[in-house]
Amino acid sequence: MPSLISQFVFNDGEVVVNIADQPSPALKAVSLPVGTVNMQPTSGFKPIRVVANIAIEQEGNSGVYLTDLPKPVKISIRYRAADQTAAAGKPLRLAFWNGAQWVRLTASKHGFSLTPDADPQQGGVGSLTLTRWGDPPISWGT
């Protein structure tokens, strides 16, 4: 039987959240205000552009955000040519703001990967797969 995937799209398509094999009650992604984050470099990460603040909640339980997800959630975030220019030749990274510092999303812990567009000068997509999450703001940076 094929998996049922719920897709949530935010920020004019720049952020896409896919939740597969929906449990009952179903999960949904919500976009929250970014709030205040430190745009100064911390923990070796220099933020360029805050792109999202996504949380996962159960339908019917609005405002109660899950941290332990029953199924993996895939988040895809577009990067732009301007992000690459701001990176000044350094590899683009995604990080989340934990309230005190930026924490890089990694391949080993978060399934982070970059996929350039057919014309890499136009940008591409950063993807991550999570089984644990809160509601931290996410930023492109180096």
- For residue 83, give the amino acid letter: D
Compute the half-sphere exposure of residue 89: CA atoms within 13 Å on the CB side of its CA. Answer: 0
Express each pLDDT in 122-139 by its tens digit: 999 999 999 998 888 999
Express each pLDDT in 11-64 by its tens digit: 999 999 999 876 677 889 999 998 888 899 998 999 999 999 999 998 888 988
pTM given for the model: 0.90
Locus of tokens 């398509």? 13
Exposed (0-12), middle (13-18) or buried (19+): which is 64, by Cβ within 10 Å? exposed
Can you tell me the distance from the alpha carbon of 62 to that of 77, in angstroms, rounded to the nearest whole number? 24
